[in-house]
């Protein structure tokens, strides 16, 4: 089946979404089906993508970001792109195709106007999904961006959107002679969207990349600070460092309960006086057996605000790790299977440890050294800012 989005998209998309294999059948059959069903649509889109330097510096007022992914980490990782749009087109209005997490993270942002929230299981809700895409189809944009290389859902939304300019990574097989292939694409996923926008932009841009930032308000920080004060039993900002531990992650990235039970005593011994806070996962079960003050919420902004009041955060590679980095708190990611070059928390005071060939004591030693360095560096930066006029 070939879907033509220019003609009666709602009926065609409803049929296509209904036929997409359910996730339990595996990702490969689903991707193969989508590639076949939308082959002509994806092919036409390749000819519509903006070339490097082809995006004007003025006249971009309505922007659409296409990231229909339900993983918290991937949602947080587009925050540098949002910041770059705000920097290059400060008067523009941004719409976003994303998840419920995206709605929570970005709806308070001043530049963000509308969020199109796709169902987590679009194949099981074909009518609602097609209706939402039809609403999107009724909008007109100056610029639409698909910041991810290889996302079929993001590419489909980009194809569906009506925009004067469209930017996204071209397919190496369908579009082998694109000028984009002569550019060096950044490895880290948080940098990809910024790279796309800057490379397409006809004007000059700033060096470096914007940090991950969830845009916490003063009110959110104040409320979380009061909770932390009660958790630690003394006013926040006094005593030794307060470190959050999040023990959950998906699949092979997760360290087991026994691993954490060995890591924590070693870390406490090497970082004397540190106080730990158990950040309980969404399922509501702690791996740390109630040994430490704990905090639980299913609201990601509350969780981020609480983490923002800590002196440090440690977890495996997961969405909450990226949320912690976006809160501004020094964050250490523990990487056992995934590539830190793509996913590590980046920016000042953050770090990562490759744990695959290390014993638990070695990981704890590196974590303690990182925390001491991050806390010292952060204190020096705070002192310097107080001295500067």
pTM over 0.85: yes
DSSP calls for 5-42: TTS-HHHHHHHHHHHSPPGGG-HHHHHHHHHHHTHHHH
For the segment 51-64, the average pLDDT, to the nearest whole number, is: 97
Confidence of residue 226 (pLDDT cuts 50, 70, 90): very high
Question: Which of 157, 147, 151 lies closest to 188 in space, CA to CA?
Answer: 147
| Cβ neighbours around 104 below 10 Å, total | 19
88: enclosing H helix or E strand: helix 79-88
Instruction: Give the chain's mean pLDDT.
Output: 86
Q: Bigger pLDDT: 79 or 236?
A: 79
381: enclosing H helix or E strand: helix 360-387
At 267-301, the pLDDT tens digits run: 999 999 999 999 999 999 999 988 999 999 999 99
Question: What's the CATH code, domain 218-387?
Answer: 3.40.50.2000
- Contact indicator for 148, 67 with CB cutoff of 8 Å: yes
Identify the pLDDT of residue 384: 63
Q: Is the predicted pLDDT of residue 378 greater than 50, yes or no?
A: yes
% of the chain exceeding 90 in pLDDT = 64
At 227-250, the pLDDT tens digits run: 999 998 754 444 568 999 999 999
How is the chain split into domains, by residue range? 45-200, 218-387
For the segment 350-357, the average pLDDT, to the nearest whole number, is: 95
Q: Is the predicted pLDDT of residue 15 greater than 70, yes or no?
A: no
For the segment 72-76, the average pLDDT, to the nearest whole number, is: 95
Q: Is the predicted pLDDT of residue 152 greater than 70, yes or no?
A: yes
Q: Is the predicted pLDDT of residue 14 greater than 90, yes or no?
A: no
Determine the topology of domain 45-200 in CATH. Rossmann fold (3.40.50)
Confidence of residue 255 (pLDDT cuts 50, 70, 90): very high
31-to-25, 39, 151, 153 alpha-carbon distances in Å: 11, 12, 10, 10
């Amino acid at each position: 089946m070939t879907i033509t989005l220019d003609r009666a998209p709602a009926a065609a998309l409803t049929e296509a979404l209904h036929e997409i294999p359910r996730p339990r059948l595996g990702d490969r059959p689903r991707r193969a089906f989508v590639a076949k069903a939308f082959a002509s649509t994806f092919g036409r889109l390749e000819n519509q993508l903006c070339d490097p330097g082809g995006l004007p510096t003025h006249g971009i007022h309505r922007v659409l970001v296409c990231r229909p992914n339900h993983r918290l980490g991937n949602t947080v990782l587009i925050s540098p792109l949002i910041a770059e749009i705000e920097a290059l087109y400060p008067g523009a209005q941004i719409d976003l195709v994303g998840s419920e997490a995206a709605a929570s993270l970005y709806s308070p942002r001043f530049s963000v106007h509308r969020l199109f929230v796709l169902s987590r299981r679009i194949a099981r809700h074909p009518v609602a999904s097609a209706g939402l895409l039809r609403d999107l189809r009724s909008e007109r944009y100056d610029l639409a961006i698909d910041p991810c290389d290889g996302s079929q859902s993001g590419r489909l939304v980009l194809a569906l959107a009506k925009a004067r300019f469209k930017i996204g990574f071209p397919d190496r097989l369908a579009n082998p002679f694109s000028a984009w292939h002569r550019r060096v694409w950044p490895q880290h996923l948080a940098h990809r969207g910024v790279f796309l926008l800057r490379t397409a932009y006809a004007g000059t841009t700033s060096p470096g990349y914007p940090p991950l930032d969830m845009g916490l308000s003063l009110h959110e920080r104040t409320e979380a600070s009061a909770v932390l004060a009660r958790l630690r039993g003394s006013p926040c900002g006094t005593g030794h460092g307060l470190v959050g531990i999040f023990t959950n992650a998906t699949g092979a990235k997760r360290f087991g309960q026994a691993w954490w039970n060995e890591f924590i005593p070693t870390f406490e011994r090497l970082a004397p006086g540190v106080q730990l806070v158990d950040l309980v996962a969404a399922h509501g079960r702690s791996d740390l057996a109630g040994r430490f003050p704990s905090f639980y919420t299913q609201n990601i902004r509350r969780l981020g605000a609480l983490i923002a009041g800590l002196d440090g955060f440690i977890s495996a590679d997961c969405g909450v790790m990226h949320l912690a980095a976006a809160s501004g708190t020094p964050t250490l990611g523990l990487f056992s299977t995934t590539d830190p070059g793509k996913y590590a928390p980046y920016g000042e005071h953050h770090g990562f440890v490759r744990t695959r060939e290390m014993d638990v004591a070695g990981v704890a030693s590196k974590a303690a050294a990182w925390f001491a360095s991050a806390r010292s560096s952060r204190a020096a930066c705070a002192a310097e800012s107080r001295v500067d006029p």
